[in-house]
Amino acid sequence: MNISGDDLIKACSAIGAGLAVIAGIGPGIGQGIAAGHGASAVGRNPGAQGQIMSTMLLGQAVAETTGLYGLVIALLLLFVQPLVG
């Protein structure tokens, strides 16, 4: 079996897209940890709920950008295929 040219580029693009989607694991773990710590902080100090929640949501939004960048790269590799001539 001899794979070369455009077929090789498409196969490598599919593998790269799969690896790029794995970037969503880190933000998922980080957001879960942040939500857990935010809930425990509200449990300790219910009066500061508004400030804790806003800070937690801002941090989760920043963490989510990594997963979104991975998704964008995966979609580019699968559908745009910039390396295929």
DSSP sequence for 9-57: HHHHHHHHHHHHHGGGHHHHHHHHHHHHHHHHHHHH-GGGHHHHHHHHH
Give the per-residue pLDDT at 85. 65
Q: What is the structure's pLDDT at 18?
A: 92
- Parse the chain into domains and list their residue ranges: 29-79
Closest CA to 73 of 24, 4, 8: 24
**pLDDT score, position 61:** 86
CATH number of 29-79: 1.20.20.10
Residue 27: per-residue pLDDT: 84
Tell me if the pTM is above 0.75.
no
Residue pLDDT tens, the chain, 85 long: 777 788 888 888 899 999 999 988 888 888 889 889 888 998 999 999 889 888 888 888 888 888 899 999 999 988 887 767 6
